[in-house]
Structure 1
Amino acid sequence: MSERQILRLSVGELVAFSCRTGDLIADTPSGPTALEGIRAHQKLQKKRPPGSEAEYRLEVEYPFLGETIVLSGRVDIVHPQSDLHRPAQLDEIKTTYCHPEQLADSVRELHWAQLKIYGFCYLLQRQEGTGAAPDRADCLRLQMQWYNLKQKKSHPELREFAWPELEDFAHKALRSYLEWHRAWQQQRNSVRTSAHALEFPFPNFRPGQRELAISAYRCLRDGGELVAEAPTGIGKTVSTLFPAIKALGENHLDQLVYLTAKNSGRQVVRETATRLHEQGLKLSLLEIQAKDKTCACRLGLCSPDADGICPRTRGFFDRLPEARQQLLGQPLLTPEKVAAVADALQLCPFELSLQMLPWVDLVVCDFNYVFDPLVRLNSLQSDQQRRALLVDEAHNLGDRARGMYSAQLSRRGSRQAAKDCRGYPALKRAINALVRALDQWVDERPRDERFHPGPADAAAEAWLTPMDTKTTSDANHGPDAVITAAHKIMAVVSQMWEQSQSPPEEIGEWLNGLYRFLTIVGLLNDQHRCLTRRENRDAPWQEQQLKLMCISAADFLQQCFRQFHGVILFSATLRPAPYIQRQLGVAAEAPYLSLPSPFASNQLGVFLCPYLDTRYRARESAADALVELIARVYHSRPGNYLVFFPSYRFLQQVAERFAAQHPAIDLIQQTAGASEQERAAFLDRFSDNRRSLGFAIMGGIFGEGIDYVGEQLVGCILAGVGLPQVSEEQELLRQAAATGGDKVFSNGFDIAYRYPGLTRVLQAAGRVIRTETDRGVVILADARFADPFYRPLFPQHWQLQHCANGEVLSTALGNFWDTQK
C-alpha cells in the first residue's frame, strides 16, 4: 500500500478529537509548566522497578473500515508481564497542583482515554510478527499516576482491562475520527483540484507583480524564506496569496497562514479570497479575531452562572461535532459566520474558531497567534502539516515581537490586584508578598547601576541590571525574590482552577501580565535587559516598575520561521535590506526582493521643505511656519489632506493655531485612545466629495494599512522625520546596537531612531497613490530630510523638488497641479 493511503495518527491527536467530552475547561496559563512536568516524569521514572521501561515507543499498523491507520505514541512507563498470573502494566503520569479527586471529571476521563488507547496499541504491538489478533482473554493493567506538585506526592489509580473492552473503546474513537477525516479529505481534494485550475484573477499583471508572484511561488514550493519590498499599489496580497494557493493545489503545501498587523489587512484578504471564489476556488478561509471582540460574555450576549462559569462552555465538547460539521468547507469563516453557528448551538465563538483551525485551508490572523509565546496557537506550531507563512506589513514585526518577548511588573498594578482579592485570603497574601519583594528589589538597587537615558527627571530613577541568562538564582544577577513570589501566586491560582474555582475577574488582565513575566523569565537570552524604574520616590504613592526588555527578537522569530515550510515577509517599506533582515531574524542567505513602483513617477509630487525645523526644541517657533505651509499646500488644490505629526502635543499646538487662522477649512484631529467608532468617523470625513484636513500621528492607525483611493486623499504633509521619542527603552536599543560589534550597523542612533522613523515616513507617504488614476503630493517638512543619510533610502520613483521657502513651494505645487489639467 502506498504511503499516501496510510493515515498516520498520534494517540494524542486521536484522543483530543474523538474522546473529549463535557465542559470546556479554562485553558489557563497557570497550570504546571512543561519543565515541572518533565521533572516530575523523570523523578517517577527513576523510581521504576528493574525490568520496567520508560518512554516506551508504540507504533502499530491497523486496518479499520477500509483504511490503514498507523497509530503512534510513547508510554511513560511499561512494566512487562513478569509471570502468568500478573499481566503487563502501563503507567501514565500527569502533573497537577491538587488532589486528583478535585480535577474535573472530563479531565480525568480524557487522561484515562489516552491510557486506554495506549493499552490497545500495546496489546496489538505485542502480537507483531504472529499475524494474530490479541486473544479475548488478554488483560492489561493500566495505572494513572497523578503527581501533586504542591504536596510532592503521587496518587496512583490502577484498573485492569480485557482486550474486548480496549478494542471497543478504540474502535469508537477511530470510527468518529475516520468519519470526519473522510469528509475533510473530500473537501481538501476539491480545494486542490480547484486551486490547480485557478487562473490569475486580473486580465494583466501590474509592473513587478509577476516577479513577486514567481518569487513567492518558488519560495513556497522549495521551502525557505523570502523578504519582499513591494511598493504601495503593486497588489501585494494577491501577488503572494495567488502563488501560495497554486502551491497548495500542486500539493507542495497543506495549509496557508496569512498574518496581518491591522484589521484593514484582513479585509483585503477577504476581498481577494472572494474574488478567487468567484472563479471557482473551493478554499476555506478562517479569520481569527481577538478574543475580547469575539467572546459572547464580553459582548454581553451571555452571563456567567452562579459558579462564575460561562454557560457556553458547559457541555462544549458534546455540541462541538455538530458545529464542526456545519462549518466544514464553508468558503469564508468570518467571525460573524462562526458566531452565528456558535449562537445557534450555544458555544463559545472564539473557542469554536480555534477548534476549526486544523480543518481549514487558509488562516488569517494577527502576528501574535504565531509569534507571541503566550497566545500563539499550538495548532499552527505542529510539524504534521506543511504550512506557508505569509507576513503582511512585515515592517511592524520587529517592534511587535520585541513587545511579545518583553514583560513588566508594576507596584501599582500589583497592589490593586491584592485589593481586588477580597474573599481570597491565600491569593491576597501571595500578591502582597510580591509587592514586598518588588519593594525590596528596588530599594537594593546600587547607585552605580542608575541609568540616565536623557534629560534628568527629578521625579524618576532608572536602573539597568545585568541578567544571567543561564540562571536567575543569583540575586545579584536577577530579581530572584520577585520571580519566586510570582511563582507562588501562580501556584495558588493553579490550585484554584484545578478545583473549579476562579480567581476574581478583576485581576484577570493582571494575572496574564504576571504569567507573561514568568514566561519571559524562562526565555531569557543575551538580548534581554532588566530595567527597573521608580517614580516619586519620597511619596506614599511611589510607583515602581520592573521590566524584562527584549532588545532584539530576531532569534525568537527565526525559531518560529523554522516551523513553516516556507515564509514570505513583505511590505512597502523594508529598507535598508541588511537592517530589515537583522531585525526580522531571517536567514542571511534568504533572498531580498525590491520591486519598483507600478505607477508613473509624475503621479506623485514630492516636495522637500528644508526651511522648517520641527525638532523638539524648535517646535514653538516652527508651529507658525507649519501653519503657513499647510495652508499653502491646501489652497494650491483644495481637497482631502493628512498632516502627520510626531506627537499629540505638537499636533494640538499646531491645530489650535491653524483653526484660529483658517476657520473656514474643515479640520479634524486624531485623539489619543480613540474608540473604533471615533476612528471610523475620522475616516468617513475623507470621502471623494469632501475637502477635509486631517491631523494625525505618524506611525498611527491612519498612517498605514488604509487605502485612500482617488479623491479620498490628494496629499500628505510630514512634519518631521518620525523619530521615536527618547525613552529608556529606545536608549537601550541605541546602546545595544552601538556596543554590539556589528560592523554594518555600529551607529546605534540609526537603529533606535532614524530607521524606525523612516519607516513611519514612508508608510504615511504611501497612503497618497493607491491606483493608476490617483495623483497627489507629499510634503517633507523638515530640514533633516535633506541630510545625506536619507537620500539613498528614499524610494527610487520619488523625484524630489527642493523648496527653499513658501513662495517656491507654492509655485512648484501650482506647476504640479497644472500638468494634470
Structure 2
Amino acid sequence: MTTRETLKLSVGELVAFSCRRGDLMADAPAGPTAQEGIRAHQRLQKKRPAGSEAEYRLQVACPLDGQTVQLSGRVDILHPQQDLHRPAQLDEIKTTYCTPDKLPEAVRDLHWAQLKIYGFCYLLQRQEETGKRPAPQDRLLLQMLWYNLKQKKSHPERREFNWPELEDFAHNAMRTYLNWHHAWQQHRLAVRTSARALEFPFPDYRPGQRELAIAAYRCLRDGGELVVEAPTGIGKTVSTLFPAVKALGEDHLDQLVYLTAKNSGRQVVRETTARLQALGLALSLLEIQAKDKTCACRQGLCSPDADGICPRTVGFFDRLPQARQRLLGVSRLTPDTLAKVADEFQLCPFELSLQMLPWVDLVVCDFNYVFDPLVRLNSLQTGDRRRALLVDEAHNLSERARGMYTAELTRKESRQAARDCTGLPTLRRSIQALVRALDQWVGERTDAERFAAGADRDNTEVWVSPLTNPPTQNADAKHVQRPESVMMAAHKVMATVSQMWEQSQPPPEEIREWLHNLYRFLTIIGLPALQHRCLTRRAHPDTPWQKQALKLFCLNAAEYLQQCYQHFQGVILFSATLRPAGYILPQLGVAADAPYFALPSPFVPEQMGTFLCPFVDTRYRARDSAADALVDLIARVYQSRPGNYLVFFPSYRFLQQVAERFSAQHPQVDIIQQTAAAGELERAAFLERFSENRRSLGFAIMGGIFGEGIDYVGEQLVGCILAGVGLPQISEEQELLRHAMASTGGNGFDIAYRYPGLTRVLQAAGRVIRTETDRGVVILADTRFAEPFYQPLLPAHWRLQTCATGEALSNALGNFWASAKGIDLAPTLRAEVE
C-alpha cells in the first residue's frame, strides 16, 4: 500500500475518538476548574523525587497499515529507570471531587486508555533515541494519581505493562481512527473537487453582490476580519457562503461555521446550501438546535429511570460508531435527520449532533455556541483546523454577547433551590449558606453607595460598584466592592454538585436552570473585572417579601468577542443594519483596521415610499395625545391601499393603548397583537395572518421577533408604521451603559439609547421590500426623526417625504400607490376604514 501523508494526532484526540466506551456522562454544570486542576498538578509535580521530570514531552512517528501517524502529548511525570530491577514509570494526574472508586467505570477506563497510549509512545520514543527496538519483555510502570480536591489527598493506582500489551492497545486505537480518517478524507476530496467546479447559483449578480463575494473570499483566503452592512435583498447569505465554499475548494479552509440569531436565518442557510448542492456541491451541513428542543427526554420521547438517567445515554459510546458511520457525508444533517438516526440507534439526538460536529463541512448554529463561555463548543475552537466564521444578523451580537457575560443570583430563586433539595441534606445546606452570604452582602451596602438612577424606583434600592476591592487589606466590610463571601459559598455549592455528578448522582431536575445560572455567576466573576459592574438590588426592604438580587453586569463584551475571533482564520460579520461604523466596530470587538463595507441597496428607490410624519410625538409625556394621532395615521395608511400592514411600538403598554383606541374607532378592521408571553404556536398564528390576499393589521414590538429576520414577500406586507425611534426602556443597566460610555469620551446617550433604537427602526423597515417586484411604504411616525441626529443615518436610497399633517400624508400615499401599475384604488377599498 502506498504510504500516505503523515497524520498528526494528539494522544487526547486519539483517545477521545477511539477509546471511549460505555455510558454518556451527563454534563455537570461544573467540575474541577482549570485553575484547580493546574494547582493540583503543580503541587504533585513539586513533590516528585529527584531525577524525575514533569510535563515530559512525547512525540513519535508510527507507521501503520501504509499510514504514518505522528502522536504527541505530555505526560505529567516521568520517573526514569534507575536500575535493572525496576522499570521506568509514567504518572498521570486527574483531579476529582470524590474518591476514584466512586468514579464511573467508563471514566476510569478512559483515563487509563490515555496513560497506556502515553506508555506506548514512551517506549517507542526510547527506541528512536537509543536505536534499540522494544523487546517483548520490556516493561513499563503506569500510575494513575487521582487527586481528591475535597480531601486534598492522592489516590494512586499502579499497573505494569509489557511492550506487546501497549503496542497492541495503541495499534487497535489507531486503526479505529485511521479507518474513519480515510473515509473522511475521501469525503473531503469530493467536497474540494465539487467546490472548485461550482458556479454561482444565479444567472447574474445583484448590484453590490459581486463586490461582497470578492471581499469575503479575500478575507477568508488571507485571514482577518470583515464587517459588511449589506441592505435587504442583496443576498447576504449566498454572497458570503458561496465564496466561503470556493475557499474550501481551494484548500484555504477546512470548515465553515455560520452563526445566525433566529430560526428564519437558519432556514435561509438550508435553502442556499440546498441550491448549491443541487448544482453538484458535495458539502455536508450540520444544523445544531438548542438542547431543550432536541433532547429526546425533554421532548417526551423517552423517560429517565428512577435515578434520573436517560436510557439513551446508557451505552451511548458503544452504539455511537455505527450511527457516526451512517451520517458521514450526508448532505444535510438537520434536526429531523439526526432525530431519525438517533431513534434507530437509541442515542441522544443532541449529543449525536455534537459528536458529528468535527466531521461536517458547514456548521449552522446560534451565536452562543461560539461566544457564550458556558455553552460554546470547544471542538469549534480547538485543534489546527482552519475555520471560517460567518456571523449573520451581526447587529444583534453586541447585546447578545453582553447578556452571555452577565450573571445574576436572586435570593428568591436560591431559597427555592434549597427547598427543592429535599433528601439531599449536604446540597441543601450548601445552598442555604449561599442565601445567607447573599443576605450579608446586601446588608453591608450603604446609602452613600446607592445608584441614583435606580434609587426609590418601585420601592427598590440599587447599589453599583466595580468588581474590585480597595487597596487596603483591612477595609471595612461595607466598603468591600467584590462579593467574595458569595463567591466562596457558590464554589462550595458547585463542589457538592460536581461530586454528585462524578458519582452518577445528578442533582434534582428542578434546580437545573438555577445551577446553570450559578455556574455562569462563577464563570463571570472569575474574568477580568474591567468591563463589569456589580449591581445589587433590594426591593421592598421593610417587608417580609423583600427581594434581593446580585447581578454581574457586562458593559461591553468586545474584548471577549475578540478572543473568540482568534480561533478562526477569517471572520465576516454582516447585517442589513450596521451603522454608523464608529459605533458598530468598537461594539463588535473587531480590529481597529478591519475593513468596513456599506453596500448600496439592490432595489430601485421607486419601490418604497418613505414618509416622515413629525406631527406625531411618541415621547412618554405625550403618549396620550400620540395615541389619538396614531389611530388617525394608521387609518389613513390602511385606507390608502388596504392590505397587510405592521405597526411597530417601543413598548407593550403603548401598543395596547393604541390598539384599544383603534379597535373602538374602527371595529370593522381586523387587528392582531403581539403579546409578551407568546409561544411558538401563537407566533406562527400571527405570521399566518400575513399571507397573500389578506388584509391584516398587526401591532408588534420594535426589536421583537416580527420586526427582524422574517421575509414578508410581495403582498405579505405592503407597509409598516414605526411609532417612535425605538429607544430601549430606561433601566439601571442602560443608565450604567450611558455613564460608562460617557466616562470614556463617547456620547453615552447615543450609544446606550439612540443607536440601538435606530437599529430596531431600520430592521423593522427592512421587512417591507424583499424582492425586485415588491412595493410598499414605510411611515416614520415621530417628530424626532426630523432631528439632525437621525437624518444622516437613514439609508441613502430612502426618498424621504415629510408630511406635516395627516391630510398631507393621505395625499402623498395616494400619489405613491397611483404610480404603481395594477393597483386598484376603487372607492370601495378607500371606504373600508371610514
* TM-score range normalised by the length of the shorter chain: over 0.9
Matched, 1:510 2:532: no
Amino acid at match of 2:659: A
Could you report, residue by residue, the CA deviation over 1:103-139 in whole angstroms, capped at 9, with x for unpaired residues?
A: 0000000000000000000000011145443111110
**Counterpart-to-counterpart distance in 1, 2:568 and 2:3:** 22
Q: CA shift at 1:525, angstroms?
A: 2.6
**Counterpart-to-counterpart distance in 2, 1:27 and 1:193:** 39
Matches of residues 114-193 of structure 1 in structure 2 within 5 Å? 114-193=114-193
- Cα separation, partners in 2 of 1:488 and 1:11, compared to 1, 3 Å: same
Match of residue 266 from structure 1: 266
Amino acid at match of 1:387: R
Match of residue 349 from structure 1: 349
Match of residue 542 from structure 1: 546
SS of the residue 1:417 aligns to: helix
SS of the residue 2:390 aligns to: strand
**Counterpart-to-counterpart distance in 2, 1:507 and 1:27:** 14
Q: CA shift at 1:29, angstroms?
A: 2.5
Could you report, residue by residue, the CA deviation over 1:454-497 in whole angstroms, capped at 9, with x for unpaired residues?
A: 68415111000222189999861301111011001001111111
Aligned with 1:498 (options 502, 506, 512): 502
Q: CA shift at 1:502, angstroms?
A: 1.3
SS of the residue 1:312 aligns to: coil
Contact map agreement 2:297 2:303 (CA 8 A) in 1? yes
Runs of at least 4 residues of structure 1 off by over 6 A?
1-4, 469-474
Match of residue 767 from structure 2: 767
**Counterpart-to-counterpart distance in 2, 1:359 and 1:516:** 29
**Counterpart-to-counterpart distance in 2, 1:233 and 1:286:** 26
**Counterpart-to-counterpart distance in 1, 2:2 and 2:608:** 59
Q: CA shift at 1:306, angstroms?
A: 1.9
**Counterpart-to-counterpart distance in 2, 1:628 and 1:10:** 70
Aligned with 2:704 (options 700, 709, 715): 700
Matched, 1:799 2:799: yes
Contact map agreement 1:454 1:726 (CA 8 A) in 2? no
**Counterpart-to-counterpart distance in 1, 2:678 and 2:175:** 52
Amino acid at match of 2:779: I
**Counterpart-to-counterpart distance in 1, 2:549 and 2:300:** 34
Match of residue 247 from structure 2: 247
SS of the residue 1:494 aligns to: helix
Aligned with 2:742 (options 700, 715, 738): 738
**Counterpart-to-counterpart distance in 2, 1:386 and 1:468:** 38
Aligned with 2:725 (options 710, 721, 725): 721
Match of residue 535 from structure 2: 531
Matched, 1:313 2:313: yes
Contact map agreement 2:454 2:461 (CA 8 A) in 1? no
Match of residue 332 from structure 2: 332
Could you report, residue by residue, the CA deviation over 1:650-671 in whole angstroms, capped at 9, with x for unpaired residues?
A: 0000001111111111200001
Contact map agreement 1:708 1:767 (CA 8 A) in 2? yes
Q: CA shift at 1:383, angstroms?
A: 3.7
Q: Which runs of 5+ in 1 are unaligned?
A: none
Matched, 1:638 2:642: yes
Match of residue 58 from structure 1: 58
Could you report, residue by residue, the CA deviation over 1:676-723 in whole angstroms, capped at 9, with x for unpaired residues?
A: 111000000001110000000000000000000000000000000000
Query: Scaled by the length of structure 2, what TM-score is found?
Result: 0.97
Match of residue 578 from structure 2: 574
Matched, 1:614 2:618: yes
Match of residue 419 from structure 1: 419
Q: CA shift at 1:47, angstroms?
A: 0.3
**Counterpart-to-counterpart distance in 2, 1:544 and 1:794:** 43
**Counterpart-to-counterpart distance in 2, 1:172 and 1:143:** 22
Contact map agreement 1:286 1:332 (CA 8 A) in 2? yes
Matches of residues 190-269 of structure 1 in structure 2 within 5 Å? 190-269=190-269
**Counterpart-to-counterpart distance in 1, 2:304 and 2:251:** 45
SS of the residue 2:256 aligns to: strand
Could you report, residue by residue, the CA deviation over 1:275-310 in whole angstroms, capped at 9, with x for unpaired residues?
A: 011000000000000000000000000000122100
Amino acid at match of 1:65: D
Matched, 1:391 2:395: no
Match of residue 370 from structure 2: 370
SS of the residue 1:518 aligns to: helix
Matched, 1:687 2:685: no
**517-526 or 246-255, which moves further after superposition?**
517-526
**Counterpart-to-counterpart distance in 2, 1:274 and 1:663:** 45
**Counterpart-to-counterpart distance in 2, 1:454 and 1:486:** 27
SS of the residue 1:142 aligns to: strand
Amino acid at match of 1:716: C
Match of residue 819 from structure 2: 819
**385-394 or 305-314, which moves further after superposition?**
305-314
Could you report, residue by residue, the CA deviation over 1:223-277 in whole angstroms, capped at 9, with x for unpaired residues?
A: 0000000000000000000000000000000000000000000000000000011
SS of the residue 2:538 aligns to: strand
**Counterpart-to-counterpart distance in 1, 2:218 and 2:30:** 43
Contact map agreement 1:120 1:167 (CA 8 A) in 2? yes
Q: Which runs of 5+ in 2 are unaligned?
A: 822-834
**Counterpart-to-counterpart distance in 2, 1:477 and 1:624:** 49
Matched, 1:596 2:569: no
SS of the residue 1:633 aligns to: helix
Contact map agreement 2:386 2:569 (CA 8 A) in 1? yes
Could you report, residue by residue, the CA deviation over 1:76-127 in whole angstroms, capped at 9, with x for unpaired residues?
A: 0000011111100000000000000000000000000000000000000011
Contact map agreement 2:9 2:69 (CA 8 A) in 1? yes
Could you report, residue by residue, the CA deviation over 1:604-627 in whole angstroms, capped at 9, with x for unpaired residues?
A: 110000000001111111101100
**Counterpart-to-counterpart distance in 1, 2:79 and 2:5:** 34
Match of residue 26 from structure 1: 26
**Counterpart-to-counterpart distance in 1, 2:668 and 2:86:** 95
**Counterpart-to-counterpart distance in 2, 1:797 and 1:138:** 79
**Counterpart-to-counterpart distance in 2, 1:543 and 1:423:** 27
Q: CA shift at 1:524, angstroms?
A: 3.2
**Counterpart-to-counterpart distance in 2, 1:172 and 1:368:** 37
Q: Aligned-residue CA RMSD in angstroms?
A: 1.5
Matched, 1:459 2:463: no
SS of the residue 2:761 aligns to: helix
Query: Scaled by the length of structure 1, what TM-score is found?
Result: 0.98
Amino acid at match of 1:507: I
Contact map agreement 1:472 1:478 (CA 8 A) in 2? no
Q: CA shift at 1:2, angstroms?
A: 13
**Counterpart-to-counterpart distance in 2, 1:313 and 1:364:** 25
Could you report, residue by residue, the CA deviation over 1:418-440 in whole angstroms, capped at 9, with x for unpaired residues?
A: 11111111111111111111111
Q: CA shift at 1:50, angstroms?
A: 0.5
- Cα separation, partners in 2 of 1:439 and 1:636, compared to 1, 3 Å: same
Amino acid at match of 2:807: E
**Counterpart-to-counterpart distance in 2, 1:456 and 1:166:** 70
User: Kindly, what percent of the aligned residue pairs are identical?
Assistant: 77
Q: CA shift at 1:324, angstroms?
A: 0.1
**Counterpart-to-counterpart distance in 1, 2:109 and 2:753:** 55
Contact map agreement 2:60 2:124 (CA 8 A) in 1? yes
Amino acid at match of 2:221: R
Amino acid at match of 1:44: L
- Cα separation, partners in 2 of 1:535 and 1:668, compared to 1, 3 Å: same
Contact map agreement 1:220 1:565 (CA 8 A) in 2? yes
Aligned with 1:661 (options 665, 670, 680): 665
SS of the residue 1:737 aligns to: helix
Matched, 1:489 2:489: no
Equivalenced residues, count: 817
**Counterpart-to-counterpart distance in 1, 2:291 and 2:392:** 21
Contact map agreement 1:285 1:361 (CA 8 A) in 2? yes
Contact map agreement 2:455 2:461 (CA 8 A) in 1? no
**Counterpart-to-counterpart distance in 1, 2:470 and 2:323:** 47
Could you report, residue by residue, the CA deviation over 1:314-353 in whole angstroms, capped at 9, with x for unpaired residues?
A: 0000000000001000000000000000001100000000
Contact map agreement 2:294 2:349 (CA 8 A) in 1? yes
